[in-house]
Amino acid sequence: MRGEVAIVGYGETPVSRARVDKGEQRLTAEEYYAWAMELTLNNCGLTKQDFDGQGLGVIGAIWPHSEIWSAEIVQNLGISPKLLLRADHGGASAAALLLQSAFAIHSGLVDIVLCLGADAPMSVQNGSGLRTWRYELDHLIPYGMMGPNSMIAFVMQRHMFQYGTKREQFGKISVAQRYNAGLNPNAYLRNPITIDDYLKSRPISDPILLLDAVISVNGGLGFVVASAKKAKQLTEKPVYLLGFGEKHNYSHGSIYQPDVTVTGVTQAARDAFKMAKAKQEEISFFQPYDDYTAIVLMQFEDAGFCKKGDGGKFVENNDLTLKGDLPTNTGGGQLSAGQPGMAGGFVHVVEAVRQLKDEAGGRQVKGAEFGFVTGLGGLTFGGNLVNSFALILSSEVPK
């Protein structure tokens, strides 16, 4: 399947924290779906009728009105597809939709799929309550666990303990991504920060500080996946899916007492690089899933950019900004651009496509050829993340 499917184009709405008092928009997830569709279709020169009898992919939302959510969205959008996909992989949903689309195109069932992700966590009023996994309600929440902040705090604490990783090394990721966000007009947080700002940011759940964590926003994004042949007819610059890998419910070591410092990206990235016939040193930029700085740091290790445990040193010795050798989260990532709820993983895919199409303006990575993207979703009991995806996207398909 190497290079058999490609991404034609993309769309991304402005983001918002729904602060009406600050003049921000307060929209629903359904409205962001409509807006993301419009932008994506315009970018690709397509109409929604082009997807009747083809494919549509949507994702879950933080607060859908019904568990049967794709049925509402497909009707709202007025598309009559042959294939309706819904990804249910949290932050990995965009990568999951991309691969599901690729498999469907590879099978010959459809030739083109519109993938949309939108969410409005900041517009949810009341009633959002605690809605999570049974085991979290029964065996975590009663102890005062504070969701992902505390779960990733365990991971970060353990990484510091096992490998001597320093706070400043995690902080450098936050600072570098904010620098990149400064060149992204659609990033929610664009003011530059220093390592001192990071260290002085509010403690949330030790060792997690405010600037270790994502900022939640409303927004909608989309991309169109097609067979390479179809993609070439639609755009001068298709972005090829050169390699991929996925792994779910990975435990490093014991399934009962796993080493939380290793993610399923180890498996997914290995498969992706093998399929792409690419090497880490050929990668032009990296869009790692970034719910927390610790998760970014661990992925340098797990994806083979450095040895396990050397992530701290790697971050310290490399410039992760657009000026460096491995620009990382070139638009600021979720840490600075914002995490649009369940659509968060679209941020990484869309930014990679934009870069490979040479359309990133002031933050363009010159001569970008190979982009490495990850998508991570869900949190495991006593471990780290449930869903791990690795994607290698490229502007050409090398021999």
Positions in the binding site for another protein (CB under 8 A): 130, 135, 137-147, 149-150, 153-155, 157-158, 161, 202-208, 254-257, 260, 381-382
Q: Could you give the residue ranges of the DSSP H alpha helices within 207-322?
A: 228-234, 265-276, 293-302, 311-317
Min dist. Cβ of residue 208 to another protein (A): 7
Q: By CB neighbour count within 10 A (0-12 exposed, 13-18 middle, 19+ buried), where does 390 fall? A: buried
Min dist. Cβ of residue 269 to another protein (A): 24
Structure tokens belonging to residue 380: 């495991």
Phi, psi angles (nearest 5°) of residue 300: -60, -40
Min dist. Cβ of residue 7 to another protein (A): 34
Q: Which is nearer to another protein, 76 or 132 (CB)?
A: 132
Which residue reads 């290790």 in tokens? 301
Task: Residue 192: name the closest of 209, 208, 180, 184 by CA.
Answer: 180
Which residue reads 């895919």 in tokens? 349
Min dist. Cβ of residue 151 to another protein (A): 9
Min dist. Cβ of residue 31 to another protein (A): 25
- What is the sign of the dihedral through the CA atoms of 335, 257, 305 and 315? positive
Min dist. Cβ of residue 123 to another protein (A): 17
What one-letter code names the amino acid at 253?
A: G
Q: Which is nearer to another protein, 103 or 381 (CB)?
A: 381
Q: Which is nearer to another protein, 230 or 247 (CB)?
A: 247
Respond yes or no on whether the N-terminal peptide bond of residue 121 is cis (omega within 30° of 0): no
Q: Which is nearer to another protein, 53 or 382 (CB)?
A: 382
Q: Which is nearer to another protein, 205 or 387 (CB)?
A: 205
Q: Which is nearer to another protein, 47 or 257 (CB)?
A: 257
Min dist. Cβ of residue 86 to another protein (A): 24
Which residue reads 């050798």 in tokens? 325
> Which runs of E-coded beta strand occur in the chain?
5-12, 55-59, 83-87, 112-119, 203-205, 208-209, 219-227, 239-248, 285-287, 370-379, 385-394
Rounded CA-CA distance 239/224 in Å is 10
Which residue reads 């102890």 in tokens? 143
Q: Which is nearer to another protein, 226 or 342 (CB)?
A: 342
Min dist. Cβ of residue 167 to another protein (A): 14
Asked if 221 and 346 touch (Cβ cutoff 8 Å), the reply is yes
Asked if 281 and 318 touch (Cβ cutoff 8 Å), the reply is no
Q: Which is nearer to another protein, 213 or 393 (CB)?
A: 213
Asked if 303 and 280 touch (Cβ cutoff 8 Å), the reply is yes
Q: Which is nearer to another protein, 140 or 335 (CB)?
A: 140
Min dist. Cβ of residue 240 to another protein (A): 38
